[in-house]
Amino acid sequence: MTTPTIELKPTSHPLSDAEREQILASPGFGRHFTDHMVTIRWTEGRGWHDAQLVPYAPLSIDPANMTLHYAQAIFEGLKAYRQPDGSVATFRPDENARRFQDSARRLAMPELPVETFVEACDALVKQDKAWVPGSGEQSLYLRPFMFATEVGLGVRPSNEYLFVVIASPAGAYFPGGVKPVSVWLSQEYVRAAPGGTGAAKCAGNYAASLVAQAQAAEHGCDQVVWLDAVERRWIEEMGGMNLYFVYGNRIVTPRLTGTLLPGITRASLLQIAADLGYEVSESRISVDDWKDGNADGSLTEVFACGTAAVITPVGSVKSTTGDWTVGDGQPGEVTMKLRKALLDIQTGAAEDTHGWMHRL
Ligand code: PLP
Ligand code: COI
């Protein structure tokens, strides 16, 4: 029997200034990590303890670690942006902290206090500030996460957990830049059913999405669009993004049903679009609404939104019941206007009238 070759990659943090600058010139997404991380432990009867800011390093996991078997694992994603005066600010970290608590409750995990979540993100960004890219849309993506650390195979909530924050410089999530994505309507697989974990940001949701994402790729599409589990008719969201439908001056996003992730970008855009004078609403949108609105020209644009992807136009749709181009297949005017308005707030180019930026 041959032994597979395993490439050993010793951690070489901290990197030199020159190495870091080279990474920041073209960071990609989620490929490079900063020099440090924050860890906080939780133990039954003791609560949260041992908060540490330590060099970024591998974690040692027991083979019977409960997470590896039963997937008590949740995460968040938020970004820190360089401001015009050189300082750094994160976008709505308290909202991520609250959603992290909601996810924890759904997975029978302990809730980290909002202030501790924000403090942990702040500590890492301050320590690794040199990793926050200096320009425009680029940012430092923060990935707070928590998983069970008890060792054992009994199926029940773990009695100990580890909360960790790591950070990764981020360029564009889609390497092609602002280029409309093509989407595959998943009619075979579903992401979330009523009563399930769809509204939680838990690792298992993403594991379950990968086969449909692969199916999308087989059909030549960039992303999968999830439909509701019961009727396979209502549009829910994409793999890592929420969706918006533009009807001229009227903008609609699927309403939160408990089976889709309540995106912070989605919530922010409801406000920004209203500020810009659009008529905004949350409602149910069916596949037929999409198809018909497209055919009669009333549906002018569709875009996806999320922390990692910001705002990305949807250019074309493929499904088992037909294919169509959205509008003229190009990035729409409203999409690009909202994208600029959001990024201007995040990068400090526009006034933060809602107090969303958390300055460090
Ligand atoms: N939907 C899913 C499944 C996601 O993973 C994400 C990303 O976090 C979103 C939507 C968008 O959420 P947010 O805007 O909070 O990043
Ligand atoms: C995010 O936008 O933060 C996400 O979590 C999407 C994806 C990278 C999982």
As for ligand 1, residues whose beta carbon falls within 6 Å of it are 77, 237, 240-242, 261, 263-266, 306-307
Structure-block tokens of residue 294: 């497209």
Yes or no: say if 305 and 266 are a contact pair by the CB < 8 Å rule. Answer: yes
* pLDDT for residue 1 is more than 70: no
Kindly state if the Cβ of 308 falls inside 6 Å of ligand 2: yes
Query: Ligand 1 centre and the CA of 306: distance in Å?
Result: 5
pLDDT of residue 7: 44
pLDDT of residue 157: 98
Closest ligand 1 atom to Cα of 76: 8
* CATH top-level class of 181-347: alpha beta
Distance CA 2, CA 269 (A): 54
What residues does each domain of the chain span?
Answer: 7-170, 181-347
pLDDT per residue as tens digits for the range 213-263: 999 999 999 999 999 999 999 999 998 999 999 999 999 999 999 999 999
3-state secondary structure at position 254: strand
Query: Ligand 2 centre and the CA of 5: distance in Å?
Result: 31
Closest ligand 1 atom to Cα of 78: 16
Kindly state if the Cβ of 80 falls inside 6 Å of ligand 2: no
Provide the whole-model pTM: 0.94
CATH for 7-170?
Answer: 3.30.470.10
| Mean of pLDDT values over 113-128 | 96
DSSP string, 128-170: TGGGS--STT-EEEEEEEEEE--B---SS--SEEEEEEEEEEE
Q: Alpha-carbon torsion 302, 305, 308, 310, what sign?
A: positive
Mean pLDDT of the chain: 93
Tell me whether the CATH fold assigned to 7-170 matches the one assigned to 181-347.
no
pLDDT of residue 3: 52
pLDDT per residue as tens digits for the range 253-299: 999 999 999 999 999 999 999 999 999 999 999 999 999 999 899 99
3-state secondary structure at position 48: strand
pLDDT per residue as tens digits for the range 58-84: 999 999 999 999 999 999 999 999 999
Counting ligands in written order, the one closest to the CA of 142 is: 2
